Structure 1
């Protein structure tokens, strides 16, 4: 593990009154709920020694556990006791890992906030304040749209970044659009910081950095900083970490709460053993595609970018943690090519993905090289909308040595800036991804 950067002391800004009494009641109930009322509260993190192939890892995931990291000769999972026992019966050694880190720093926790030692992370209210501040600071470049609400009524926003007065040289066509989404999984808070970094960078470096300026002039950039605000707030509702993954909608007939947003997208949903039909599972896919309201909000937004029968969004990154990976579709099949994915498509994905990974020092691979998933955002963005969509699994690496899902706030600046060049590469390629394989004339003219 690289040594952490020195901490900059930050005084926590006191929280204001919650927007509505209804929201206050929901959050209070979430905080007060006893551990026994939620399946994920009874889940633990385990290292499973033995699985070495994608098929073996997929079989582990089929127990209902989530595969959180893939290591040489082992995987890390989040599972309840019954799921862990099913994995043991497969003949693997299963070792309990420590729970989320205690970052209280010897101080009293504040409800609905990050532990005191991790004060540089932004909770939902603070993140939305940062969004508003960036938009206000750069009104000629940025605008905010509320594209929908979460199950518990929190706004899901998209920030549009472009210089509307500028056009790509030599064309009258619409600017290519690129989408960046973050925080599908509640405990992956570093991804919100990644989205906020992008807003700050595109705003503050416009007119100063040639690459940033060119992309803001010649692209339309969309940033959705928080796809799962309810889950994120629940994860820190007690002022400490709960290792919550899903959203917070109830499941009829079950005490288990939440749907895994990244198994709820409407392409190959539930098709291939890459998600669970059990509400108690970490990878519960929901009752139907887009049954998670947050997924439907973002999917509707993407569909709204079809103008004149043509999707304007050309490329995308969905940020996750952890393992330091650049992943591309498909997740539902182990084949490099499949219906909806030609060899040229795959080669363009892999060429740009490998180049981005060389920049941020992540590992590039097709998603299904890890294990099979179905109903994921990348598969939907490509399979349904023909958007070149990637997943970035951020810091730390698969060993989890940097804190797993909860890296200390000292790494935020370093690990968000680490993706700067990779993000710019995707923006630069977005007008014609096939240029990367020498086939611009065939596909883009």
Structure 2
């Protein structure tokens, strides 16, 4: 995650933070292939093939983070003196062989320990407020029954294991394809980032329940077509909690031919500058494995096909979007594959509009605004794809917490309402500005001519 500067005494505070993680988070190391021993995770490091979290004592420059990611690990958090990564023991041995000082972060007890036995395919007892895939669909069904005039559901594809990839449409005339700006909200590309599914359900609730009672939401629903794709990685999410404990699983679950390691990193599988720039891995064992080809993950192919289907009369109807992740509290925009703000396909005005809207949203939710490559170079991401091929102003929100101290990838269930509501105004801002993002830089007359009407 984003490097955070630290002053004198940083190392002392870092050690204190890591020592406190046992009481604050379930983040690491967590099994990727088998449940932990009864009553909690093992006291040592992860077993062969399992994913664990480690601290690397090395100054975290962009070059350092790039070098670490090339070994197949993910960079989860960094400051001036150390980096926290997720990876397999073989990858960690490789880092040590290259001279890195690596310390395994001690295994943490299950949040459900002491309250009830772990329930397969469910969240730990203390995190019961999180929704499983089945519970998410049940919640969606309740909203559909209550608001059939403004909410519809369609299946746009299947996951690798056959689960539905769902698109929800919110609009005042939901059965009609109106000439209104469309906005795409996507969630849960990475399995362990369960808070993003809660963000989808929160926004669905706010939009449909607020229609007709909240003037701001009513204006938005009356003038926009809003697409909510609440779970892009249902297989990975189900696998992450399949034992009743967390596994720190990131990828999807499709098999990789000739490899014992399943899964593709969905947010490295998009077909724009795919695999171009050392911002992903070609190894199936890596956490950032980009897949065998662009859109080789069925979940990515389904969403990309959906985005392409929204081209009507030669014009892309989706104008803007947000892809939700966790953690680090960031608002990011393209490009990720290059550090240049104005690479081919991104003019100075485009970049200025991204910055203006991103910074305004960050001012609302308290996140840090930056270009994606300021974090580290990544290729094959959804933001780069949606802008690079469809000219959709797509942003990434890295949600709560800011650091592992707040729970890392597994913040406690009691923060769900607070941290989803924290993004309400920022999302509504994007919905309001989607008709002409260039208005944010005062150039609507130049770029935002009225579109021809269409209705079906």
Distance 1:134 1:151 in 2: 27
TM-score, length-scaled by structure 2 = 0.86
With over 3 angstroms needed to count, the CA separation of the structure-2 counterparts of 1:195 and 1:285, relative to structure 1, is same
Equivalent of 2:92 in 84, 88, 91: 84
Distance 1:144 1:100 in 2: 39
What's the CA shift for 1:47? Answer: 2.2
Alignment-derived partner of residue 243 in structure 1: 248
What's the CA shift for 1:40? Answer: 9.3
Alignment-derived partner of residue 108 in structure 1: 117
Alignment-derived partner of residue 57 in structure 2: 49
Alignment-derived partner of residue 426 in structure 1: 430
Deviations 1:235-258, CA, capped at 9 Å, x for gaps: 000111011110000011110010
Equivalent of 1:224 in 223, 226, 229: 229
Q: Is the 8 A contact 1:39 1:256 kept in 2?
A: no
Alignment-derived partner of residue 412 in structure 2: 408
Alignment-derived partner of residue 135 in structure 1: 144
Q: Tell me, what secondary structure is at the counterpart of 2:248? A: coil
Alignment-derived partner of residue 381 in structure 1: 386
Deviations 1:375-417, CA, capped at 9 Å, x for gaps: 00111011111100111000100x2111110111000000000
Alignment-derived partner of residue 305 in structure 1: 310
What's the CA shift for 1:216? Answer: 0.5
Distance 2:244 2:310 in 1: 38
What's the CA shift for 1:263? Answer: 0.4
What's the CA shift for 1:41? Answer: 5.1
Alignment-derived partner of residue 323 in structure 2: 318
Q: Is the 8 A contact 1:331 1:367 kept in 2?
A: yes
Alignment-derived partner of residue 17 in structure 1: none
Equivalent of 2:162 in 148, 153, 160: 153
Q: Is the 8 A contact 2:361 2:426 kept in 1?
A: yes
Alignment-derived partner of residue 101 in structure 2: 93
Q: Is the 8 A contact 2:319 2:434 kept in 1?
A: yes
Distance 2:161 2:34 in 1: 14
Equivalent of 2:339 in 314, 331, 334: 334
What's the CA shift for 1:49? Answer: 3.0
Q: Is the 8 A contact 1:188 1:406 kept in 2?
A: yes
Alignment-derived partner of residue 66 in structure 1: 74
Distance 2:124 2:199 in 1: 19
Alignment-derived partner of residue 22 in structure 1: none
Distance 1:137 1:412 in 2: 23
Alignment-derived partner of residue 121 in structure 1: 130
Q: Is the 8 A contact 2:127 2:413 kept in 1?
A: yes
Alignment-derived partner of residue 194 in structure 1: 199
Alignment-derived partner of residue 397 in structure 2: 392
The residue correspondences of 1:348-367 to structure 2 (distance < 5 A) are 348-367=353-372
Distance 1:423 1:41 in 2: 39
Distance 1:280 1:81 in 2: 11
Alignment-derived partner of residue 417 in structure 1: 421
What's the CA shift for 1:48? Answer: 2.3
With over 3 angstroms needed to count, the CA separation of the structure-2 counterparts of 1:192 and 1:385, relative to structure 1, is same
Q: Is the 8 A contact 1:66 1:78 kept in 2?
A: yes
With over 3 angstroms needed to count, the CA separation of the structure-2 counterparts of 1:244 and 1:444, relative to structure 1, is same
Deviations 1:10-43, CA, capped at 9 Å, x for gaps: xxxxxxxxxxxxxxxxxxxx879999xx999512
Distance 1:134 1:71 in 2: 43
Distance 1:144 1:31 in 2: 35
Distance 1:436 1:54 in 2: 30
Deviations 1:264-306, CA, capped at 9 Å, x for gaps: 0000000000000000000000000000001001111111101
Q: Is the 8 A contact 1:70 1:370 kept in 2?
A: no
> Structure 2 stretches of 5 or more lacking a match?
1-16, 18-32, 450-456
Q: Tell me, what secondary structure is at the counterpart of 1:326? A: strand
Q: Tell me, what secondary structure is at the counterpart of 2:300? A: helix
Alignment-derived partner of residue 23 in structure 2: none
Q: Is the 8 A contact 2:124 2:245 kept in 1?
A: yes
Aligned pair count?
410
Q: Tell me, what secondary structure is at the counterpart of 2:143? A: helix
Q: Is the 8 A contact 2:55 2:102 kept in 1?
A: yes
Q: Is the 8 A contact 2:322 2:395 kept in 1?
A: yes
Distance 1:46 1:314 in 2: 40
> Structure 1 stretches of 5 or more lacking a match?
2-29
Root-mean-square deviation (CA, aligned residues, Å) is 2.3
TM-score, length-scaled by structure 1 = 0.88
Q: Is the 8 A contact 2:152 2:175 kept in 1?
A: no
The residue correspondences of 1:223-302 to structure 2 (distance < 5 A) are 223-302=228-307
What's the CA shift for 1:51? Answer: 3.7
Deviates more, 1:47-56 or 1:139-148: 47-56
Alignment-derived partner of residue 12 in structure 2: none
